[in-house]
Amino acid sequence: MEKQFYAVYLNPSRPDFATTMTDHERAIMMEHVAYWTEKMQQGKVYAFGPVMDPKEIYGLGVIAVENEQELKDFIVNDPAGEINTYEYFPMKAVVPKDFT
């Protein structure tokens, strides 16, 4: 089955979230990084991290899954969902052959 690609946005709970995280929020975000790193090691994530937009820092990931439900399951199980929200959109990704 061909992989489906998605651009996934992690929307912060407040505009200055990245620079004003509490210790509790920072701990959750460290769990978030470990969670998506594991998905990357499984070949499901091609890139993820903060986008340093001067208007607001937000998270972005490029995800490759079997179907949309798999992506929804990833999102629902992400620790960062406790303090932030997600949006995602199908992506017509162009990737090297060995990435698919």
Residue 20 lies in a domain: yes
pTM: 0.91
Q: How many domains does the chain have?
A: 1
Beta strands in 1-100 (DSSP E): 4-11, 45-51, 58-65, 85-91
CA dihedral 33, 88, 100, 47 (to 10 degrees): -30
Residue pLDDT, tens place only, 46-64: 999 999 999 889 999 999 9
Tell me whether residue 16 is in a domain.
Answer: yes
* DSSP symbol at 79: G
CATH number of the domain encompassing residue 54: 3.30.70.1060
**Domain boundaries, position 74:** 4-95
At 96 the pLDDT is 81
pLDDT tens-digit readout, 4-29: 999 999 999 999 999 999 999 999 99
Asked whether residue 73 is assigned to any structural domain, the reply reads yes
Q: What is the pLDDT of residues 63-89, one digit of tens each?
A: 999 999 999 999 999 999 999 999 999
